[in-house]
Amino acid sequence: MNIAILGFGVVARGTCEILKNRKEKDINVAKVLRRNMGSTKQVANDAKFLKPISKTAPSKIFTCDIKDIIKTKSIDTVVECIGGDDIPYSFCEAAMKAKKNVVTSNKKMLAKYYKKLITLAKTKKVLLLFEASVCGGIPFINTLSNMSNVSGINSINGIMNGTSNYILYKMFEEDLSFEEALKGAQELGYAEADPSDDIDGIDTKNKILISSNLAFKTVNNLKDVHAFGIRNIDISDISFCKKHKLVCKLIASASLVGNKKSQILIDVFPTFLSNKDSFANISLNNNMVRINSFGLGSIDLVGAGAGSLPTGTAVVSDLLLLNDGKEYKAEISKNIKINNEQNICDIYFRNDSSIEKDELINFIESLTKNDITVSNFNLKDDDIERLKLERENGKDIVVYTTSNTNTYLIFGLNVIQIDKLSKKFNKAFIAKI
Ligand SMILES: NC(=O)c1ccc[n+]([C@@H]2O[C@H](COP(=O)([O-])OP(=O)(O)OC[C@H]3O[C@@H](n4cnc5c(N)ncnc54)[C@H](OP(=O)(O)O)[C@@H]3O)[C@@H](O)[C@H]2O)c1
């Protein structure tokens, strides 16, 4: 098998390390695309690094021109590890048009171009595999596809972003501020200089959409997935959780609902969970996904969601499937759409202290035709569960408020209304309860 690797960063090098570590040398790295060639010394060093897994002459392995790869007929598979969306899409599109299989670790590109990529792979009779794109090293995508084909998926829930899990974990375990925990994540290379995709839930949104598309054999758009991040969490929210024996995790969910399972509810929320929940125990930058299927019930997968070797492992597992003539099939055979109107949630809302209570209540009133009940609460340990059980009608909006804090529990808004609330009060921290 002759492959070309696009990019030579964390994932690409991890992939090479895993290939080098295998006894079999049946996968030949014929070319590597990089943005800049680098110095002669650097090229020589990198060629040496690739030697055990490349039969190409050292001076010819690296190229900065994608056409060198597309026009080389002997390259049957392109491994995309560049990142971004439009540029890698154009490279993958060109590769598939030239009858090359594509393996990618790129969730941003996949979430944006899922339909185009899956359709192109089908028409060109090539394969598109993407195990590394969601939850890094965890063998999730292959498992999800398998469970979907065997008995159908009911729901997926997951901690899918290691950076935000690391930040929340450090805030809980070491009482760090958000800024201190983020700085630690950046120093360890978990978070980028601009961490927005991780802390605003955008990376998680890409991953849950890809998972939902694959599991439910449909295609939906990113604009229909509402994601709320952890940017505004502070130590008062952590204290609230600790007082009520809760833990906060950034959870992505997608489930099939309705009598005929004809709709999808999907969202990304910081979520307050019982400290006994399995998700609550996911430490540092690890990931966990729970898949519920008709046949198996629930299974949990836990492990490294990112990192050079774990992600390289996922890429190589895709390459071995291709090498053995096997595949998992991403199909678009159903038309199941996201229903945000019916995605009713109960939330914790801590506002900026400068927001008046009446301003919040008035805004919620403007969002809905339903009656709003405003009640005082004086929460005790397990009151959140009790309040949820006591709620008479899921569609009524109940705002539990207290005179001496800026914390509210709001029951019964849908995700579109919560999105408007978060845009209006953009310093507030919102979590699902
Ligand atoms: N890192 C992880 O743990 C991880 C886990 C799962 C998935 N992923 C995904 O895997 C992909 C790669 O991530 P990474 O961490 O390996 O990124 P990275 O370390 O930044 O590496 C990206 C590589 O691509 C090269 N590149 C960028 N644009 C290019 C272009 N137009 N033409 C040629 N080369 C180009 C970069 O070159 P320069 O060095 O010149 O910029 C760099 O070598 C991303 O989609 C990411 O989301 C990463």
At 395 the pLDDT is: 53
Ligand 1 atom at minimal distance to the Cα of residue 307? 3
Looking at the structure, tell me whether residues 23 and 123 fall in a common domain.
yes
Q: Is 207 a catalytic residue?
A: yes
Looking at the structure, tell me whether residues 82 and 218 fall in a common domain.
no
- The residues of the chain scoring below 70 in pLDDT are 378-383, 385-395, 402-404
Domain presence at residue 239: yes
CATH number at residue 107: 3.40.50.720
Looking at the structure, tell me whether residues 78 and 161 fall in a common domain.
no
Ligand 1 pocket, residue 106 CB under 6 Å: yes
Looking at the structure, tell me whether residues 125 and 159 fall in a common domain.
no
Ligand 1 pocket, residue 168 CB under 6 Å: no
Looking at the structure, tell me whether residues 258 and 225 fall in a common domain.
yes
Domain presence at residue 139: no
At 328 the pLDDT is: 83
Domain presence at residue 16: yes
Q: Cα separations (Å) of 298 from 46, 288, 290, 301?
A: 44, 13, 6, 10
Find the 399 Cα to ligand 1 centroid distance in Å: 45
Find the 190 Cα to ligand 1 centroid distance in Å: 14
Looking at the structure, tell me whether residues 63 and 197 fall in a common domain.
no
Looking at the structure, tell me whether residues 282 and 188 fall in a common domain.
yes
Domain presence at residue 422: yes
CATH number at residue 358: 3.30.70
Find the 96 Cα to ligand 1 centroid distance in Å: 20
Structure tokens at 209: 């959409």
**101 touches 129 (CB < 8 A):** yes
At 379 the pLDDT is: 65
Looking at the structure, tell me whether residues 102 and 161 fall in a common domain.
no
Find the 82 Cα to ligand 1 centroid distance in Å: 4
**38 touches 13 (CB < 8 A):** no
Q: How many domains does the chain have?
A: 3
At 244 the pLDDT is: 86
Look up the domain containing 363 and give its range: 344-432
Looking at the structure, tell me whether residues 223 and 175 fall in a common domain.
yes
Looking at the structure, tell me whether residues 83 and 161 fall in a common domain.
no
φ/ψ of 264, rounded to 5, equals -115, 130
Domain presence at residue 258: yes
Domain presence at residue 326: no
Task: For 392-405, write each residue's pLDDT tens digit.
Answer: 555 578 888 765 57
At 371 the pLDDT is: 83
400 DSSP β-pair partners: 375, 409
Residue in 207, 217, 249, 432 annotated catalytic: 207
Domain presence at residue 339: no
Distance CA 351, CA 372 (A): 19
CATH number at residue 249: 3.30.360.10
* List of residues 6+ apart from 169 with CB closer than 8 A: 282, 283, 284
Q: Which of 69, 96, 129 is the last residue of a domain?
A: 129
Looking at the structure, tell me whether residues 161 and 122 fall in a common domain.
no
Ligand 1 atom at minimal distance to the Cα of residue 7? 24
Domain presence at residue 313: no
Looking at the structure, tell me whether residues 268 and 379 fall in a common domain.
no
